[in-house]
Amino acid sequence: MNPVRIFRHITCETPGYLGELLERCGCPYEVVCVDQGVEMPRDLDGVAGLVFMGGPGNVNEPPEWMLEELALIRAAADRGIPVLGICLGAQMISKAYGGTVMPAATLEVGWHTVEWLEDSKPAQRWFGGLPRHFEVFQWHAHTWSPPPGAVVLARSACVEQQAFAIDNCLALQFHLEITPDSIRGIVEKYPGDLEPVSDCVQGAAALLADLEARSRKLHRVAKVVFGRWLKRCMAP
């Protein structure tokens, strides 16, 4: 089987639980550590899918590496290669498809509930069988407009746009892959984001409370959603 290629943008945002799932299903994967200045691979031959992780950055002020990733998303779309975008990665999918990315009305940081749209057949394909409302981990300052042709899949009280699908791409503003160690790393690296500017921003104590139990629940959701995306990667 061809490998899934994962683009990492910051040390503390690793493939996490997604990597565990890939290993369990015997799907090979490779991690491109963009944060370490690794040369961007442009050849998509022999790639089963692309994953663009979260991290710092603004798609409206893209550095060279981000421009290259935007081009890769468009190239993968042209070839029907499945793409998964998480947080910043989701914003890049929106931008690559002609959507608009802009600052959100508030930071959304911590454990927050999202609602998937039960009356939507596309949302059923991704989230069917899950509770209508489930808790996810959030850490972002930007949001998007769904690009032309996209189907909105989920929303939250703090930031309306939470997930969309378009062609063979799935864009998730929230983190399903994150692990307790990654959360601790982000809290340590970005304490300035934890100022209580609104009810949508939780402090360190709230983020770290019941961390193991919350992560297990999160990963039960991740197993379903990521599993459905991986089926597309493994399709002949």
- The pLDDT tens digits of the residues spanning 160-217 come to 999 999 999 999 999 999 999 999 999 999 999 998 888 999 999 999 999 999 999 9
Q: What is the pLDDT of residue 215?
A: 98
Half-sphere CA count of 131, side-chain side, radius 13 A:
10
Res. 234 pLDDT band, cuts 50 70 90: confident
Cα gap 29→22, rounded to integer Å: 7
**What is the set of domains in the chain, with CATH numbers?**
4-234 (3.40.50.880)
Asked whether 86 and 177 are in contact (CB, 8 A), the reply is: yes
Q: b vs e for 110-135, b when ≥16 Cβ sit within 10 Å of the residue's Cβ?
A: bbbebbbbeebeebeebbeeeeeebb
The two counts, helices (H) then strands (E), for the chain are: 7, 9
- The pLDDT tens digits of the residues spanning 83-122 come to 999 999 999 999 999 999 999 999 999 999 999 999 899 9
Asked whether 7 and 89 are in contact (CB, 8 A), the reply is: yes
Whether residue 12 is predicted with pLDDT greater than 80 in this model: the reply is: no
Prediction pTM value: 0.96
